[in-house]
Amino acid sequence: MVVHQSVVHPLGPLELTELLPGTGWDSLGLHVGAAEEVEHWWSGGTGEQNLARLVDLLLQTRVTVLDVGRVLLDGPLPADDVHAAHGRVLDLGARFGAQFVTARFGAPDSPAGRSIAERVDLFGQLADQARPYRLRPLLAPVPADRLDLLGDALAVVAPSRGGLVLDVAATSATADQVEEAVELVWEHLGYVRLSARLVEAAGDAAAGLLATLPPHVPVALGGDDSQGLLAEDPAPRLRRLHALVDEMLEHPRARARRTGGS
Protein backbone atom coordinates (compact mmCIF):
# COMPACT_ATOMS: atom_id res chain seq x y z
CA MET A 1 0.00 0.00 0.00
CA VAL A 2 1.46 3.23 -1.25
CA VAL A 3 1.24 6.97 -0.51
CA HIS A 4 2.04 9.42 -3.27
CA GLN A 5 4.00 12.50 -2.30
CA SER A 6 1.32 14.75 -3.81
CA VAL A 7 -0.98 13.82 -0.92
CA VAL A 8 1.27 15.53 1.64
CA HIS A 9 2.65 18.35 -0.53
CA PRO A 10 4.41 20.68 0.32
CA LEU A 11 6.04 18.12 2.61
CA GLY A 12 8.98 16.69 0.71
CA PRO A 13 9.99 13.09 0.00
CA LEU A 14 12.34 12.95 2.97
CA GLU A 15 9.61 14.08 5.35
CA LEU A 16 7.14 11.62 3.83
CA THR A 17 9.58 8.73 4.21
CA GLU A 18 10.10 9.61 7.87
CA LEU A 19 6.35 9.85 8.33
CA LEU A 20 5.25 6.49 6.90
CA PRO A 21 6.60 4.00 9.49
CA GLY A 22 3.86 3.29 12.01
CA THR A 23 1.02 4.45 9.75
CA GLY A 24 0.52 1.09 8.01
CA TRP A 25 1.75 2.41 4.65
CA ASP A 26 5.04 0.88 3.56
CA SER A 27 5.76 2.37 0.15
CA LEU A 28 5.65 5.74 -1.62
CA GLY A 29 5.33 7.28 -5.04
CA LEU A 30 7.52 10.21 -6.02
CA HIS A 31 6.94 13.08 -8.39
CA VAL A 32 10.39 13.85 -9.78
CA GLY A 33 9.61 15.51 -13.11
CA ALA A 34 7.19 17.57 -15.20
CA ALA A 35 6.05 19.64 -12.23
CA GLU A 36 7.52 22.97 -11.19
CA GLU A 37 6.85 22.40 -7.49
CA VAL A 38 9.29 19.47 -7.30
CA GLU A 39 12.17 21.02 -9.24
CA HIS A 40 13.95 22.39 -6.16
CA TRP A 41 14.21 18.88 -4.70
CA TRP A 42 15.90 17.25 -7.68
CA SER A 43 17.93 19.98 -9.41
CA GLY A 44 21.57 20.97 -8.95
CA GLY A 45 23.51 20.38 -5.76
CA THR A 46 20.37 20.18 -3.66
CA GLY A 47 19.09 17.37 -5.86
CA GLU A 48 22.30 15.40 -5.39
CA GLN A 49 22.07 15.83 -1.62
CA ASN A 50 18.42 14.78 -1.53
CA LEU A 51 19.18 11.75 -3.69
CA ALA A 52 21.86 10.47 -1.32
CA ARG A 53 19.82 11.28 1.79
CA LEU A 54 16.65 9.64 0.48
CA VAL A 55 18.37 6.42 -0.59
CA ASP A 56 19.93 6.16 2.87
CA LEU A 57 16.60 6.92 4.55
CA LEU A 58 14.75 4.33 2.48
CA LEU A 59 17.21 1.69 3.65
CA GLN A 60 16.88 2.79 7.28
CA THR A 61 13.08 2.86 7.35
CA ARG A 62 12.52 -0.12 4.97
CA VAL A 63 10.12 2.08 2.99
CA THR A 64 10.15 1.27 -0.73
CA VAL A 65 9.42 3.35 -3.84
CA LEU A 66 6.68 2.00 -6.11
CA ASP A 67 6.84 4.54 -8.90
CA VAL A 68 8.31 7.80 -10.11
CA GLY A 69 6.54 10.28 -12.32
CA ARG A 70 6.07 11.66 -14.61
CA VAL A 71 7.09 11.70 -18.23
CA LEU A 72 5.15 13.94 -20.58
CA LEU A 73 4.73 12.28 -23.96
CA ASP A 74 4.43 15.43 -26.03
CA GLY A 75 7.07 14.74 -28.66
CA PRO A 76 10.00 12.48 -29.60
CA LEU A 77 12.06 11.26 -26.64
CA PRO A 78 15.81 11.72 -27.21
CA ALA A 79 17.95 9.10 -25.46
CA ASP A 80 19.58 11.42 -22.95
CA ASP A 81 19.57 10.83 -19.18
CA VAL A 82 21.39 14.09 -18.42
CA HIS A 83 19.66 16.86 -20.35
CA ALA A 84 16.30 15.36 -21.31
CA ALA A 85 13.57 15.74 -18.69
CA HIS A 86 12.32 12.18 -19.11
CA GLY A 87 15.89 10.88 -18.81
CA ARG A 88 16.21 12.34 -15.34
CA VAL A 89 12.94 10.69 -14.30
CA LEU A 90 14.25 7.31 -15.48
CA ASP A 91 17.60 7.82 -13.81
CA LEU A 92 16.08 8.77 -10.46
CA GLY A 93 13.58 5.94 -10.69
CA ALA A 94 16.38 3.41 -11.06
CA ARG A 95 18.36 4.92 -8.19
CA PHE A 96 15.34 4.71 -5.89
CA GLY A 97 14.60 1.13 -6.90
CA ALA A 98 11.18 2.00 -8.31
CA GLN A 99 9.13 -0.54 -10.23
CA PHE A 100 7.17 1.85 -12.48
CA VAL A 101 7.50 5.17 -14.27
CA THR A 102 4.24 6.96 -15.03
CA ALA A 103 3.55 8.89 -18.21
CA ARG A 104 0.89 11.10 -19.74
CA PHE A 105 0.32 12.50 -23.18
CA GLY A 106 0.81 16.23 -23.06
CA ALA A 107 -2.08 18.54 -23.88
CA PRO A 108 -3.28 19.63 -26.35
CA ASP A 109 -1.99 16.62 -28.28
CA SER A 110 -3.64 13.95 -26.18
CA PRO A 111 -5.48 11.83 -26.60
CA ALA A 112 -7.65 13.00 -29.51
CA GLY A 113 -4.94 15.10 -31.17
CA ARG A 114 -2.71 12.11 -31.94
CA SER A 115 -3.52 8.92 -33.76
CA ILE A 116 -3.25 5.54 -32.07
CA ALA A 117 -0.15 4.80 -34.15
CA GLU A 118 1.55 8.02 -33.00
CA ARG A 119 0.76 7.31 -29.37
CA VAL A 120 1.93 3.71 -29.67
CA ASP A 121 5.21 4.99 -31.11
CA LEU A 122 5.77 7.59 -28.37
CA PHE A 123 4.92 5.19 -25.57
CA GLY A 124 7.11 2.55 -27.21
CA GLN A 125 10.05 4.97 -27.21
CA LEU A 126 9.63 5.39 -23.46
CA ALA A 127 9.34 1.64 -22.92
CA ASP A 128 12.55 1.01 -24.87
CA GLN A 129 14.45 3.62 -22.88
CA ALA A 130 12.99 2.53 -19.53
CA ARG A 131 13.95 -1.13 -20.00
CA PRO A 132 17.67 -0.74 -19.13
CA TYR A 133 16.61 1.06 -15.94
CA ARG A 134 14.35 -1.91 -15.06
CA LEU A 135 11.32 0.35 -15.03
CA ARG A 136 7.94 -0.48 -16.54
CA PRO A 137 6.10 2.51 -18.02
CA LEU A 138 2.47 3.08 -17.04
CA LEU A 139 -0.08 5.34 -18.69
CA ALA A 140 -1.78 7.27 -15.90
CA PRO A 141 -4.44 7.63 -14.77
CA VAL A 142 -7.28 5.82 -16.55
CA PRO A 143 -10.73 5.79 -14.85
CA ALA A 144 -12.09 2.35 -13.99
CA ASP A 145 -15.64 3.28 -15.01
CA ARG A 146 -14.67 4.26 -18.58
CA LEU A 147 -14.23 1.05 -20.54
CA ASP A 148 -13.82 3.07 -23.74
CA LEU A 149 -10.80 4.90 -22.32
CA LEU A 150 -9.41 1.66 -20.92
CA GLY A 151 -9.67 0.07 -24.35
CA ASP A 152 -7.92 3.05 -25.91
CA ALA A 153 -5.14 2.93 -23.32
CA LEU A 154 -4.65 -0.80 -23.86
CA ALA A 155 -4.23 -0.24 -27.59
CA VAL A 156 -1.41 2.20 -26.77
CA VAL A 157 0.51 0.23 -24.12
CA ALA A 158 0.05 -3.39 -25.22
CA PRO A 159 2.48 -3.40 -28.20
CA SER A 160 5.40 -2.46 -25.91
CA ARG A 161 4.14 -4.57 -22.98
CA GLY A 162 3.59 -1.47 -20.88
CA GLY A 163 0.80 -0.93 -18.40
CA LEU A 164 -1.60 1.57 -16.92
CA VAL A 165 -2.77 3.03 -13.64
CA LEU A 166 -6.40 2.22 -12.89
CA ASP A 167 -8.08 5.17 -11.18
CA VAL A 168 -10.94 4.13 -8.89
CA ALA A 169 -13.32 6.78 -7.54
CA ALA A 170 -14.19 5.59 -4.03
CA THR A 171 -17.40 7.62 -3.88
CA SER A 172 -18.96 6.46 -7.15
CA ALA A 173 -17.33 3.31 -8.51
CA THR A 174 -18.91 -0.06 -7.84
CA ALA A 175 -17.23 -3.36 -7.04
CA ASP A 176 -18.60 -4.80 -10.29
CA GLN A 177 -17.07 -1.94 -12.29
CA VAL A 178 -13.70 -2.48 -10.65
CA GLU A 179 -13.82 -6.23 -11.30
CA GLU A 180 -14.78 -5.67 -14.95
CA ALA A 181 -11.99 -3.14 -15.45
CA VAL A 182 -9.38 -5.39 -13.85
CA GLU A 183 -10.51 -8.32 -15.99
CA LEU A 184 -10.21 -6.16 -19.11
CA VAL A 185 -6.70 -4.80 -18.49
CA TRP A 186 -5.36 -7.77 -16.50
CA GLU A 187 -1.62 -8.23 -17.27
CA HIS A 188 -1.37 -4.54 -18.19
CA LEU A 189 -2.55 -3.38 -14.75
CA GLY A 190 0.30 -1.65 -12.93
CA TYR A 191 -1.51 -0.46 -9.82
CA VAL A 192 -4.79 0.97 -8.58
CA ARG A 193 -4.94 4.63 -7.61
CA LEU A 194 -7.35 6.05 -5.04
CA SER A 195 -7.93 9.72 -4.31
CA ALA A 196 -7.28 10.48 -0.65
CA ARG A 197 -10.05 13.07 -0.73
CA LEU A 198 -12.60 10.61 -2.12
CA VAL A 199 -11.55 7.82 0.27
CA GLU A 200 -12.18 10.16 3.18
CA ALA A 201 -15.49 11.26 1.69
CA ALA A 202 -16.66 7.68 1.11
CA GLY A 203 -15.64 6.46 4.56
CA ASP A 204 -16.95 3.04 5.56
CA ALA A 205 -19.44 3.03 2.64
CA ALA A 206 -16.63 1.94 0.28
CA ALA A 207 -15.85 -1.24 2.25
CA GLY A 208 -15.35 -4.20 -0.09
CA LEU A 209 -14.96 -2.04 -3.19
CA LEU A 210 -11.61 -3.68 -4.03
CA ALA A 211 -12.43 -7.09 -2.54
CA THR A 212 -11.67 -9.01 -5.76
CA LEU A 213 -8.49 -7.10 -6.63
CA PRO A 214 -5.63 -9.61 -7.16
CA PRO A 215 -3.41 -9.58 -4.05
CA HIS A 216 -0.25 -8.75 -6.00
CA VAL A 217 -1.65 -5.45 -7.36
CA PRO A 218 -0.45 -2.39 -5.37
CA VAL A 219 -2.95 0.20 -4.15
CA ALA A 220 -1.76 3.81 -4.10
CA LEU A 221 -3.25 6.80 -2.32
CA GLY A 222 -2.98 9.84 -4.57
CA GLY A 223 -3.53 13.56 -4.19
CA ASP A 224 -5.38 15.97 -6.42
CA ASP A 225 -2.86 18.15 -8.25
CA SER A 226 -0.53 18.43 -5.23
CA GLN A 227 -3.09 20.22 -3.08
CA GLY A 228 -1.49 18.84 0.07
CA LEU A 229 -4.61 17.16 1.40
CA LEU A 230 -2.72 15.71 4.37
CA ALA A 231 -0.14 18.43 4.93
CA GLU A 232 -1.52 19.20 8.41
CA ASP A 233 -1.45 16.52 11.13
CA PRO A 234 -0.80 13.84 8.51
CA ALA A 235 0.10 10.79 10.63
CA PRO A 236 -3.32 10.26 12.28
CA ARG A 237 -5.13 10.83 8.99
CA LEU A 238 -2.84 8.40 7.19
CA ARG A 239 -3.59 5.75 9.80
CA ARG A 240 -7.32 6.36 9.38
CA LEU A 241 -7.00 6.23 5.58
CA HIS A 242 -5.05 2.99 5.84
CA ALA A 243 -7.88 1.45 7.85
CA LEU A 244 -10.43 2.61 5.26
CA VAL A 245 -8.44 1.25 2.31
CA ASP A 246 -7.86 -2.01 4.15
CA GLU A 247 -11.64 -2.34 4.51
CA MET A 248 -11.98 -1.69 0.78
CA LEU A 249 -9.67 -4.65 0.14
CA GLU A 250 -11.42 -6.97 2.59
CA HIS A 251 -13.53 -9.73 1.06
CA PRO A 252 -17.03 -10.12 2.55
CA ARG A 253 -16.09 -13.60 3.81
CA ALA A 254 -13.10 -12.18 5.63
CA ARG A 255 -15.26 -9.48 7.18
CA ALA A 256 -17.80 -12.10 8.30
CA ARG A 257 -15.05 -14.13 9.92
CA ARG A 258 -13.57 -11.05 11.59
CA THR A 259 -16.91 -9.87 12.94
CA GLY A 260 -18.19 -13.27 13.92
CA GLY A 261 -20.68 -13.49 11.07
CA SER A 262 -22.48 -10.24 11.86
Has domain 2-258 been given CATH number 3.20.20.150? yes
The pLDDT value given to residue 240: 93
What is the distance between the alpha carbons of residues 168 and 171, in angstroms, rounded to a whole number? 9
CA dihedral 61, 216, 136, 168 (to 10 degrees): -100
Contacts of 180 (CB under 8 A, 6+ apart): 147
Q: Which residues pair with 104 in a beta bridge?
A: 72
Q: What is the pTM of this model?
A: 0.90
The pLDDT value given to residue 248: 96
The pLDDT value given to residue 226: 52
* 3 state DSSP class of 165: strand
Residue 168: Cβ-neighbour burial (10 angstroms; 0-12, 13-18, 19+):
buried
The pLDDT value given to residue 185: 96
pLDDT tens, per residue, the chain with 262 residues: 999 988 888 888 999 999 999 999 999 999 898 777 788 888 776 677 889 999 999 999 999 999 998 899 988 888 776 656 888 899 999 999 999 999 999 764 445 578 899 999 999 999 999 999 999 999 989 999 999 999 999 999 999 999 999 999 999 999 999 999 999 999 999 999 999 999 999 999 999 999 999 999 999 999 865 565 776 778 898 999 999 999 999 988 888 887 886 5
CA torsion through residues 42, 45, 50, 55, sign: positive
